[in-house]
Structure 1
Amino acid sequence: MTGGSFTAESDLAGHRYFEHSSGKRINTDTVLVEALRTQYPKLELIVTPCGLVDLLAYASAGFAQYTPLEDSVKDPVYGVSLRYRAYIPAGRRLDHGGGFMAENLTFGKFMYKWKDQEVILYIAEGRDGGGYYPSIKNHYILTSNSHRVDELIRDATIWGRELHNEVWVFDQGWWQKSAQLWDSVQKASWDDVILDDDMKKALQTDVEGFFDSQETYQKLKVPWKRGIIYYGPPGNGKTISIKAMMNSLYQRGTNGDKRMSVPTLYVRTLSSYMGPEYSLSQIFGKARQEAPCYLVFEDLDSIVSDNVRSYFLNEVDGLKSNDGILMVGSTNHLDRLDPGISKRPSRFDRKYYFANPSYAERVQYCKFWQGKLSDNKDLDFPDKLCDSIAEITDKFSFAYMQEAFIASLLAIAGHGGKDKHQSERDARRWAGPQDPMHPIELRFRDEQYLFGGGSEDPDIKHLELWVEMQKQVKILRDEMEEKKLSERMEAMFPSQPPSGPAEVRDERLPQALPPSLRPGSETLRDYETRLKAIAALFPQQQQSETPGGIMHAPDWSDAFRRPM
């Protein structure tokens, strides 16, 4: 077959498509099939959905060739293509890259060559009155050898299902390939994960060992499936551990490794136009198809809500086989998970607690930053500074430590070449007294350091990074205290009434607050302000602690009799 043999005054399929699309639409497939069979009576017609196989993408990857046949028709109106062209700007100006022209094909005709076969290929998109969203786009293939076309469809479909430096991500109700997440995962390494060495080794052994133990599970006559939960305060390495594990699993089956490759399926949300139950069906259906696989539910407590818990458990424990699926769920709040998920061994049978880093781990994290900044000759970062920063960041998560480093470095960069004392004077001049980022006076530096613990080393006292770090640590520690205060106030004055009888811990607590101290009042909008107002009414009274560790509130009865 050659393109020249199809030269004509008009293309019947193109004519019918445009004619049909200009009026009431009933069934686009029927119209095109009728037109193509009339125009090419000696060729066999095969129709296959573009949603299952993308022949143009397969050809663009180098496995076939295609040539547009637009010049084969002389009709200036009813040609054989309908395209939308647009310029896509660069994603980021900082990348210094230009954009590109993109094209959306609605209707087109091509000569398609694969191996020793040439076929005529039409691609048409159509949404009909009785059709559903999204619209359907199909390939219409005209050939004299249908068996070879079946082979083409098979090979192109298999290629399309494979990952090409991508990660399967479920979002908004459908699976999509993410090259961006793949790039992020490639940067994640176990060398960058700062955890107890034994725990880090256990994390890797648990997952790698599962995928290497199919025969062991079969011999023991138990399903080859597992579930693991990572939990603990936010910012302590759950996400980076998952990414490092993903990277390790992608190395299997490469560079001479004979082990079976293990793809990751990453679930972002169950939200979809068909509802969360449909999403769970799609998620586990894909996991069974791709098994063995690493199925990731990040923030498991927010993904699996009470509304879909039963459906989720049915997918996990139901009649369908989940062999080869290792689920990992991360959560900052293990207590929010249903006990049927968190405490049932056959579902998530292993848990790892990611605690706030110890002193040694904080020192190690500081050395990580020391290595990152080693090529900056303008910034002094001696080993002693690692120990000192670790001392003042007690009870900090890795995320808070990262924030302290980034904020400190941004402050240093913000000096803009000025003398640092001049920069601080400028900041004080414009920041105002209520600015939480107001620079700390130098005379308070010793007090600030003692607040975090330890004594200041005179060798680092005037280092720029150390001065800025103390400021940022103080700000972050205040933020931590405010968060704890807010949680205590929420417990004392819940925004929603409890479902059951309220537990009164101290009979001296008032049963009702004055109007000015009630939630939603004009006088006091938030819990923190309410607490300060209450404390101001009886400054002479303090909380006391019994030997048993139970906190007792002061007698507030007189305070609430005072006018506000």
Structure 2
Amino acid sequence: MTAGSLTHRPAPSHNETARQYYEHSTAPRVNTDAVIVEALRAEYPNLHLTVVPRQSCDLFAYAGAGHASMASIDKEKDRLIWRAFVPPASRLGGQRGALGDMIKFGKYLLDWQGKEYVVCFADGRDGMSAYPQVANQYVLSASVEATNKLLLEAGVYTTELHGEIWVFDGGFWQKDAALFESVQKSHWEDVILDESMKRTIISDVETFFSSQATYEKLKVPWKRGVIYYGPPGNGKTISIKAMMNELYKRTPAVPTLYVKTLVSFAGPEYSINQIFSLARRTAPCYLIFEDLDSMITDNVRSYFLNAVDGIAKNDGILMVGSTNHLDRLDPGIAKRPSRFDRKYLFPNPNTDERTAYTKYWQGKLSDNEDLEFPDKLCPAVAKITPGFSFAYLQEAMVASLLAIARERDGFAERLCMECLESHVAPGDGSTCTNDSKRPFKGLYDWVWAVKQADDEDPDLDNYVLWRELKKQVRLLKEELGEEK
């Protein structure tokens, strides 16, 4: 097929398709698709026409990735394109953003494997009510066989992941490259957990994806369900991301499907159907439901349970649901072995784990010659942070470092931890005579623990990091102990 056979054929005196589109778009409309099809058949009577929804087969993305070439062939006055400013992901490094085009209507010549195709794109609305938006590609070629070959390759490309993760949000699946990049930075060595529990979690997931033959021999469905539960900020999300990273390193890689919410324009039942439809097509896969208790409410519970445990096959799907409130989950979800058969508690860290987490930060700051971070600070910090989650430990450390960074000379004043005033606290074990600022439940027990740490090693107070950590931990303790 030559370019002349498609683009240099005798043209009508005007662009009939453009005329029809603009006429239709400026009047009461019922079906944009029917109008475009009729106009294209009149304009290209000798070519085969195929209508392709962009969502399932994105020819523009396929060509943009270098698998085909595509160039505009209509006049500028016949095209409808929005130009939008795309802000930068970050202004660091002097990034200013860029301009991008949003195609609403236009014609293009697509060259693929020595054959040429006319592709018309039209953004329209169909239906008698609500006018749902549709975005179709109208492909014209010399034969249906040529079109089918192109669409098959472009369709496979569209449904595959290319450095992205499937994320379900707002009622539809979308590819998220930013989340994929974040996951690549998540490693198990950065996850502070009980080592036995960590090994079990990793083995549990790895074994599942390596055991298809075992499940088949035992005549049981090759599917699993796991729940991560416990107070917020103790490693559930980072463990999921670290596992995602490990699964992408497998050969072949195991993709992740990440569900943020069931909210959609068509209702949660529609969302559940969309979620499990893609999971079954993608399997084997790692299907994540974050904050499961907030998603599976009474009005959608039965539909979810049917999708998980109904007649449809879920082979190769490992579901992980995370929740901060296990008690809010329906027993049919939390206690039915065929649905979620294993539960892992992520509790607040104990003393050894708090020490290990502080050592982790010590390692991160090891190249900072301006900050003294001796080994003895690690158990001392663990001693004064009982009841802290990993998230609170991180907040104490980050807030302390930020406070030190604000002081150019690295000065941090010595404060009485009981009243937060700058004076020497009583050294005989008695309480401060000043009125305590924002007292909280357990204040004096905590002050006593701080005093013990300082008494055991008086040199600790010579380190600016220790003095600032005591202050930030004191402030966070107020949040944890709001009961007076």
Secondary structure at the counterpart of residue 78 of structure 2 = coil
CA distance in structure 1 between the aligned counterparts of 2:372 and 2:10, rounded to whole angstroms: 75
Q: SS at 2:462's partner residue? A: coil
TM-score, length-scaled by structure 1: 0.78
2:109: which partner in 1?
111
Residue 437 of structure 1: how far off its partner (Å): 12
Q: Look up the match of 1:244.
A: 242
Q: CA deviation at 1:203?
A: 0.4
Rounded Cα–Cα distance in structure 2 between residues aligned with 1:59 and 1:125? 19
Q: Which residue of 2 aligns with 1:461?
A: 461
**How much does 1:115 deviate?**
0.5
Partner of 1:5: 8
Equivalent position to 1:130, from 128, 131, 135: 128
Structure showing greater relative contact order (alpha-carbon pairs closer than 8 Å, 6 or more residues apart): 2
Distance 2:189 2:372 in 1: 24
Q: Name the residue aligned to 1:202.
A: 200
Residue 342 (structure 2) aligns with:
350
Deviation (angstroms), 1:19: 2.4
What is the match of residue 422 of structure 2? 441
SS at match of 1:194: coil
For residues 519-553 of structure 1, the C-alpha deviation after alignment (integer angstroms, 9 at most, x for no partner) is xxxxxxxxx6xxxxxxxxxxxxxxxxxxxxxxxxx
Q: Does the 8 A contact of 1:437 with 1:475 survive in 2?
A: no
The separation in 2 between residues aligned to 1:442 and 1:378, in whole angstroms, is 26
Report deviation, 1:51. Answer: 2.0
2:253 aligned with 1:272: no
Residue in structure 2 matched with residue 329 of structure 1 by the alignment:
321
Aligned to 1:173: 171
Letter paired with 2:351: Y
Among 24, 38, 42, the alignment partner of 2:42 is 38
Structure 2 gaps, min length 5: 430-445
Where does residue 217 of structure 1 map in the other structure?
215
Q: Which amino acid aligns with 1:161?
A: T
Matches within 5 A, 1:89-168: 89-128=87-126, 130=128, 133-168=131-166
Looking at structure 1, the residues matched to 405 and 225 of structure 2 have their Cα atoms a distance apart, in angstroms, of 45
Partner of 2:288: 296
TM-superposed CA distance for 1:29, in Å, is 2.3
Cα distance between partner residues in 1 of 2:203 and 2:421:
47
Matched residues in 2 for 1:128 and 1:362: separation? 58
Which residue of 1 is the match for residue 72 of structure 2? Answer: 68
Q: Secondary structure at the match of 1:403?
A: helix
Kindly provide the CA deviation profile for residues 125-169 of structure 1, in whole angstroms up to 9, marking residues without a partner as x.
Answer: 111452655411211122112202101101101101111111111
Give the drift of 1:95.
4.5
The aligned runs of 1:378-397 (5 Å cut-off) are 378-397=370-389
- Residue 7 of structure 1: how far off its partner (Å): 7.3
Counterpart for residue 441 of structure 2: none
Within the candidate set 1, 18, 23, 1:19 is matched to 23
User: Is the 1:391–1:453 contact (alpha carbons within 8 Å) kept by the matching residues of 2?
Assistant: no
- On the 8 A contact 1:394/1:452 being kept in 2, the answer is no
Task: Return the alpha-carbon distance in structure 1 between the equivalents of residues 65 and 165 of structure 2.
Answer: 18
- The residue type equivalent to 2:424 in the other structure is R
TM-score (norm. length: structure 2): 0.90
Distance 1:313 1:179 in 2: 31
- Deviation of 1:98 after TM superposition, in Å, equals 1.8
What corresponds to 1:368 in structure 2? Answer: 360
SS in 2 for 1:226: strand
- Separation (CA, whole Å) in 1 of partners of 2:191 and 2:426: 32
Which residue does 2:311 correspond to in 1? Answer: 319
The higher radius of gyration belongs to: 1
| 1:5 partner letter | H
Assess if the C-alpha contact under 8 Å between 2:418 and 2:447 holds in 1. no
Compared with structure 1, are the counterparts of its residues 159 and 378 closer, same or farther at alpha carbon in structure 2 (3 Å cutoff)? Answer: same
Structure 1 residue 442: Cα displacement: 4.3
Change in 2 beyond 3 A, CA 1:91/1:134 = farther
Paired positions, count: 461
Identity of matched residues, % = 53
CA 1:5–1:242: 2 relative to 1, 3 Å: same
Amino acid at match of 1:480: L
Output one character per residue of 1:9-43: Cα deviation in whole Å (capped at 9) or x when no partner.
Answer: 42221122222223232322222222222222221
After TM superposition, give the deviation of residue 298 of structure 1 in Å. Answer: 1.3
Matches for 1:400-549 after TM superposition, within 5 Å: 400-417=392-409, 419-421=411-413, 439-444=420-425, 450-452=448-450, 454-456=452-454, 457-482=457-482, 485=483
Residue 417 of structure 1, CA deviation = 4.3
